[in-house]
Structure 1
Amino acid sequence: MTCAKCGTTLPPESKFCEQCGESVEPSTHQTEEASTIETTAKPPNETVEKVTALSKNYWTYFLSNLKAPTQRGFVENQGNVIFATINVALIAFFFAFTLFAQLGFRASSFISLSFSDSFIPGFFFMLIFLAVTIGGLFLTLKLVIDSPINLQAFYSRFGESLVVPVALSAVAFVSGLIGIGSVTSLFLGLLFLMVFAIMIMVYQTEVKQASTAKLDPLYGLVALFAVILIILNYVSSYILADMVMSLFI
């Protein structure tokens, strides 16, 4: 081993030059040992890799379905529970964050609500809305048609069809952050209308595929709308009352 500063020849195990005191490079053995330690380092976290792969797959699925939502959602869709659940969760999150943006940090000091008083009620309201819609549609189809329907497969197909509502809820969230109230209200309204439109399309698709019907499909659809509106009216009144009370506590 040679000192890089003064050129003195040194023993392989030396750490400092005996002539000038300069620190010297580690020995070949030490270098190989360090390289072995780096090579045998812990492998990447499997959970992180799975989440990363799922995110990439979902993004690819989202873009392809957004380009042709009717074709992919109602014709080719075989159903994916994970993607369906992600869609439902994203709609609930974006809707709740939009409420927080409108009633929280962008609201006036008189009507401003905290994160917990605006986000949490909004999140659970949207989850209840989607659960009542999906569950109510499934039960209605069970009563109307004779063909057997699997709940998991039905949930997967319906949930995967919610790509456009996911996009609408995201746009509503962005406009809420910017502070464009009229645009936010427009896209929130479109969000609910689109969910109802998808519900009708799924209902018609299942009825057409059925061999026979126990009840006229129109009556089943009217009854379903009535039940959904009654439940949503009750839930929204309860949540609204809770928000109003939070302003005075």
Structure 2
Amino acid sequence: MYCSNCGESLEKEDLFCSGCGKRVEQQEVNQSKIEIASAVTMEDGQEEKKHLNENVEKAKKAAKNYWGFLLENIKSPFERGINQKPNDFLFGYFNIFFLSLFFGLGTYFEMKSITGGFSLLGNNIHFFKTFFSVFLYGIITLLVAVAVLFGIQKLLFKVSISFNHILGRFGTLITIPTVLSVLFFIAALPGLLKIIGIIISLILISLQIAIIITFLSYRKQSNVKFDPIYGLLIAYVIMGIFVALTSDVFTKNFFSGLFNIF
């Protein structure tokens, strides 16, 4: 500790500065406050660093668990989907995100390949608009599908379930189309259009299978005497209305990116 008046070195027991004679009680108090404030600041910094490290570890663990989740689903998608685990809804969000991501990327490169022979089109495709319109619309559509399945099961069939439970089951069952979307993206890079068409068909078919299995898997939990086939038809009608109401906005954004229209 040093005297604030003359800079003379002070001991803890000093009451007066030996250099200038100034009392040091107030200096000690101020010094103590500074030391306490510094200690608190260091502690806060350590806490923030600790939380950051914990979040990084959680992210690493989630990524590792997601990889295991994918492998398990590929081996037995139906059994894994029906016998879901409590945290599967998190992986459901992951699958929805990655399915939409790779499908959006694949669509962009597919359009580049299709229009590549036309100089006025191939060089003017706007990446962000073309990709982002497909990516965002894919996420919204899949979440709306989950919401529709949840609403019908909850309101029409009186099944006691949560939104996350439906999301976990549906998200688990769309593992195959998620993997196929990666293959779609890989095939779109070199422009393998014939293979792309087959993969897209498989993605759409497997998505429909996931919707149907998810819906029918809750039939034993319902006490309502209403045929689930009609409930499934209602779900598709609602989804059809949603697509009809939103397709114009999607088409406008997609083609504005395709032809680079601002």
- Scaled to the shorter chain, the TM-score interval is 0.7 to 0.9
Question: What is the Cα deviation at residue 171 of structure 1?
Answer: 0.8
User: Structure 2: how far apart are the matches of 1:154 and 1:243?
Assistant: 30
Which among 60, 76, 85 is matched to residue 78 of structure 1?
85
The 3 A distance-change label for structure 1 pair 64 and 243 is closer
| Correspondent of 2:241 among 230, 236, 241 | 230
Corresponding residue of 2:179: 167
Match for residue 141 of structure 1 among 153, 161, 180: 153
What TM-score results when the alignment is normalised by the length of structure 2? 0.71
Matched, 1:243 2:254: yes
Query: Equivalent residue for 1:153?
Result: 165
SS of structure 2 residue aligned to 1:146: coil
Question: Is 2:77 the partner of 1:65?
Answer: no
My pick for the range that moved more, 194-203 or 153-162, is: 153-162
Q: Distance in 2 between matches of 1:220 and 1:167?
A: 29
Q: Structure 1: give runs of 5+ residues left out of the alignment.
A: 1-41
Output the CA distance in 2 between the equivalents of 1:106 and 1:64. Answer: 36
Correspondent of 2:228 among 217, 222, 227: 217
CA-atom RMSD in angstroms: 2.3
Query: 1:195 — aligned with what?
Result: 207
Superposed displacement of residue 237, structure 1: 3.2
1:77 is matched by which residue type in structure 2?
A: Q
Letter in 1 for 2:74: L
The amino acid across from 1:213 in the alignment is V
- Contact kept in structure 1, 2:152 and 2:231, CA below 8 Å: yes
Deviation track 1:166-207 (CA, whole Å, cap 9, x = no partner) reads: 111111111111211121122122212211111111111101
Q: Normalized against structure 1, the TM-score is what?
A: 0.75
Give me the whole-angstrom Cα distance separating, in 2, the residues matched to 1:245 and 1:172: 23
Deviation string for 1:74-95 (max 9, x for gaps)? 1x21342221111111111011
- Measured in 1, the distance between the counterparts of 2:256 and 2:178 equals 30
Q: Is the 8 A contact 1:94 1:170 kept in 2?
A: yes
Are the counterparts in 2 of residues 104 and 118 from structure 1 also a CA contact under 8 Å? no
- 1:48 and 1:151 map into 2 onto residues whose CA distance is 27
Tell which deviates more after alignment, 163-172 or 138-147: 138-147
Match in the other structure for 1:36: none
| Cα pair 2:103 2:134 within 8 Å, conserved | yes
- 1:72, 1:59 → 2: CA distance? 14
| Alignment partner, residue 90 of structure 1 | 98
The structural deviation recorded for 1:159 is 1.4
* Residue 120 of structure 2, aligned match among 104, 110, 123: 110
Instruction: List aligned pairs for 1:115-130, cutoff 5 A.
Output: 115-130=127-142
Amino acid in the other structure paired with 1:49: E
C-alpha displacement of 1:54: 1.9
Q: What's the offset of the Cα at 1:126?
A: 0.6
In structure 2, how many angstroms separate the alpha carbons of the residues matched to 1:229 and 1:110? 35
Say whether the 8 Å CA contact 2:159–2:218 is kept in structure 1. no
